[in-house]
Structure 1
Amino acid sequence: MTVPTRREPVRLLLVDDHPMFLEGLRLVLSAEADLEVVGEAVTGDQAVTAALDLQPDVVVMDLHLPGLRGTDATRQIVATSPHIGVLVLTMFDDDDSVFAAMRAGARGYLLKGAAHAQVVRGILAVADGEVIFGPSVARHMQRFFEAPPVPSVFPGLTPREHEVLDLVARGRSNTDIARSLGVSGKTVRNHVSNLFAKLQVADRAQAIVRARSVGLGVDEQG
């Protein structure tokens, strides 16, 4: 009779800037036989460095971090070590945070307050290459995919430029747009400049007028 081989513990890097939460998370996860906490970080920059040095199987990542944001840290970790899975564990339950994290390369997204068993299950799933969402986050994804595609009324725009224009029409600043899309401020500025040229407008106000005249951005601005 063949005895099943026990899996090696999943090596974890925990990232959170709240010491008490980080300590509690370490204690409960360290008690799991299938998990091994190999490092901790309290900033995004520390997380990137620790991930590169320790090469954990999974990074449990908060999004709101001092310095480098969790989405940016996730992007850098995945870019340098694509075999590392990132599981977001955060308080933020909005569309912008969810989709920015997924664009950055996170494989899972759970909310703080999730049951201990759910967090463990999420870590193991991400370690096995699966994608995992908490129930409320799954609803965000469901609404996104159920929404009918919006045909571009400006066919000369790329899909990303159309997305940026819609956010401009909602009154979002370049900084807010960069955070929502998980890109740099410079990238957003380039997109906005391209929009002005393609729409043949002189400034942001004229772009907003053009966009709202065809229905973009009106759902938040009324």
Structure 2
Amino acid sequence: MPVRTRPKIFLIDDHPIVRSGLESEIKSSGEFEHCGSASSIKEGLKAMTFAGPDLLICDVSLQDENGIKELDSLKKKFPDLKIVFLTMHRDWSYLQDAISAGADGYLLKSDSMESIMASIRKILNRGKVFPGEITNFSYDSDWIKKVGEVIQKLTKREAEILHFLSKGRLNREIASELNVSIRTVEAHRASIFKKLEVENVVELTRILVQLESSEKP
């Protein structure tokens, strides 16, 4: 009877302390095998060819690289590799880019190690993990088209606020940027949510990501 092998995990992060902490947790889990680490994607690509990982945990902002922008080249070289970003960035624009690029997960370094390990298990079991449980964001194409038409009909001010919301800006930041009161921003935000039939920024992000994907050739 063949021995069941443990899933192999490779790490790319330019912070030695972060790598060391993850390596230790992976090794002590007994569930996974730590098959290598690197401080850059360029270095990691060479090592992964021989390591044969099942899952890559990669930072977004590396010293001279952007993990999300390199995701396509990683997928081309390792088509079956699960790719998870572990980052400090809470910006919704980074999250949207990661989802659109085909990442399997987007985890925050502020998450507990227990939560990170649970997410890894889920991803290795063919799940996806994103903040706010943005996992199933596929909508009917006709409905997406209708949403696009609604967005085109937003007022100029609503369109401006929608743009800032899509970048993860807070109400007070939008108010300062547009030189209006927070109450004004809140009123326009409520109007946008009502027109798009969403209840929060998580749902709004799902829609905007799907809309952006549908517009790509």
Q: TM-score, normalised by structure 2?
A: 0.62
2:85 alignment partner in structure 1: 88
Distance in 1 (alpha carbons) for counterparts of 2:90 and 2:161: 23
Taking a change above 3 Å as real, the CA distance of residues 132 and 214 of structure 1, as seen in their structure-2 partners, is closer
Q: Is the 8 A contact 1:60 1:88 kept in 2?
A: yes
Q: Is the 8 A contact 2:87 2:108 kept in 1?
A: yes
Residue 18, structure 1, aligned to residue 15, structure 2: yes
Distance in 2 (alpha carbons) for counterparts of 1:30 and 1:15: 16
Gaps of at least 5 residues in structure 1 are 155-211
Residue 217, structure 1, aligned to residue 160, structure 2: yes
Q: Is the 8 A contact 2:56 2:81 kept in 1?
A: yes
Q: Is the 8 A contact 1:10 1:124 kept in 2?
A: no
1:147-189 residue CA offsets vs partner (Å, 9 max, x unmatched): 98231649xxxxxxxxxxxxxxxxxxxxxxxxxxxxxxxxxxx
Alignment of 1:121-200 (within 5 A): 121-133=118-130, 137-138=131-132, 149-151=147-149, 153=152
SS at match of 2:79: coil
Distance in 2 (alpha carbons) for counterparts of 1:92 and 1:32: 27
Distance in 1 (alpha carbons) for counterparts of 2:93 and 2:79: 23
Distance in 2 (alpha carbons) for counterparts of 1:138 and 1:6: 37
SS at match of 1:24: helix
Query: Offset of 1:88 from its aligned partner?
Result: 1.2
Q: Tell me the percent identity.
A: 21
Q: Is the 8 A contact 1:10 1:35 kept in 2?
A: yes
Residue 35, structure 1, aligned to residue 29, structure 2: no
Q: TM-score, normalised by structure 1?
A: 0.60
1:101-142 residue CA offsets vs partner (Å, 9 max, x unmatched): 122221011111222222112112222221122xxx116779
Distance in 1 (alpha carbons) for counterparts of 2:50 and 2:64: 20
Distance in 2 (alpha carbons) for counterparts of 1:130 and 1:27: 24
SS at match of 1:71: coil
Taking a change above 3 Å as real, the CA distance of residues 122 and 141 of structure 1, as seen in their structure-2 partners, is closer
**Residues matched between the structures, number:** 159
Residue 50, structure 1, aligned to residue 44, structure 2: no
Taking a change above 3 Å as real, the CA distance of residues 142 and 130 of structure 1, as seen in their structure-2 partners, is closer
Q: Is the 8 A contact 1:30 1:37 kept in 2?
A: yes
